[in-house]
Chains A and B, each alone.
Chain A
Amino acid sequence: MQASRARLFKEYKEVQREKSADPDIQLVCDDSNIFKWTALIKGPSETPYEGGVFQLAFSVPEQYPLQPPQVRFLTKIFHPNVHFKTGEICLDILKNAWSPAWTLQSVCRAIIALMAHPEPDSPLNCDSGNLLRSGDVRGYQSMARMYTRLAASPKKG
């Protein structure tokens, strides 16, 4: 518990110092609980998520960094590896391939990479996975783009 708190505090300081280093990621720690974080990530360009801003919720276990943070999308997203309802993310580094070499910041980068490179063979969202598996890239992209506009676009005016 003490170790995880100390580590998270280091990450917090690093995030404060490097605030402008990665303009696509805005990682914020809960005011009253260092085990709760949220992040705003920008949809990668040349993907159907471009132009969208997606919110992630982090819940960090007491055994962190030996155990991975739990991360899910709060913003609705149509992606083969994200559960459409719960926002659960299927990504190896959040499960068996986790190591303390990862940070909350680099997890965000990994999620952005996953958005750009969906893996339809291990789908959490079968509809999205099936579109890609059957070769209907246009179908996948238009669905994903629609949800980006509906759920992830900053309100105008």
Chain B
Amino acid sequence: MQNQEEQVADGKRAAFEFEPKGEDCSSSILGNSILHSDGVGADLTQQQQHEEELAISSLQQNVPFVGDKEPLSALAAEYQSGSPILIEKIKILSDQYAAIRRTRGDGNCFFRGFMFSYLEHILLTQDRLEVDRVKNNVEDCRKMLQSLGYVEFTFEDFFSLFLEQLDCVIEGNESSISYDELLNRSRDQSVSDYVVMFFRFVTSGEIQKRSEFFEPFILGLTNATVEQFCKSAVEPMGEESDHVQITALSDALGVPIRVVYLDRSSCDTGGISVNHHDFIPATGNPPNAADGSSETFNPFITLLYRPGHYDILYPK
């Protein structure tokens, strides 16, 4: 009986020539606004998109999660025969910035860049006050996730791994590590991905905690609710970050971030300038809150944004 049915099923299937591959299917219980396609045509384009993404990600496999520090001239070399606007902008950048450190373009580049920049800053400055301050904020994030109903064991491993890295970059502990070891760990998937995931949990918790604030921005991006957005665009590894995620992470940890934009935009007045945006924590106690003036704003994390990707920039 069952066999018969299977045969019937197969016969019918042959008549309809569109069986999307398993990988491309998109049944969603997170709400169908973001990930869900609308029928056959959409499935095809989604599949093409998926293939392109795969092609890109296989190229990216050769790039380490966090690259070596390169002089800014390496960036200029990339655009040698490129758009004059970009060449001009890189020239301007080289007045202020000395070096670039690339991150792998696997959708986690913002978090990965933030991770390395932040830990590197602590390692170089040995700023224990900053470590204490951020640990307090991490504790608040933990409580926030609990109160949002997250099961503790689903996120605690990621939290403890980040706290462990924080302790490691401070000298004088048994577990203290060198600069090279920090680089090794940032390239080691089992550490690097766990820290990225820690940031994703923190970001998600912050967005949900202040859902009224973030809701209009999220509605501008998708039709999703705040919770759906967090479940589908923040928590899964490989989901790219944008303004919403950066704002939330900066706020949650109380760490200011400068993002420098390298794109083809230019202003009408003729002059070319490089835009940047400072993410200044809205809540908590940011590191240089005392002086309060934006003139002296001195972020210790600067990221270079090119459409779709973040790398680390080093000021002169």
Contact = CB atoms under 8 A, between A and B. Distances in A.
Interface of A: 3, 6-7, 10-11, 14, 65-66, 76, 81, 83-85, 88, 90-93, 95-103, 110, 113-114, 117-119, 121-127, 130, 150-151
Contacts of B251: none
B43 interface: yes
Nearest to A119: B27
Given A97-B30, A119-B27, 9 more contacts: A6-B157, A7-B153, A92-B29, A93-B28, A96-B35, A101-B231, A123-B20, A126-B12, A126-B18
Chain B CB within 10 A, most for which of A11, A14, A125, A127: A127
B155 A100 contact: yes
Contact of B236 (A98, A113, A125): A98
A102 B19 CA distance: 28
Contacts of A97: 28, 30, 35, 231-232, 236
B154 A81 contact: no
Interface of B: 1-2, 6, 9, 12-13, 16, 18-20, 22-30, 32, 35-39, 43, 150-151, 153-155, 157-158, 190, 193-194, 197, 200-201, 204, 231-232, 235-238
Given A3-B190, A66-B197, A97-B236, A113 B25 contact: no
Contacts of B20: 122-123
Contacts of A130: 12, 16
B38 A110 contact: no
Contact of A150 (B1, B29, B43, B200): B1
A100 to B, nearest CB: 6
Nearest to A105: B151
Given A7-B153, A84-B9, A103-B151, A93 B29 contact: yes
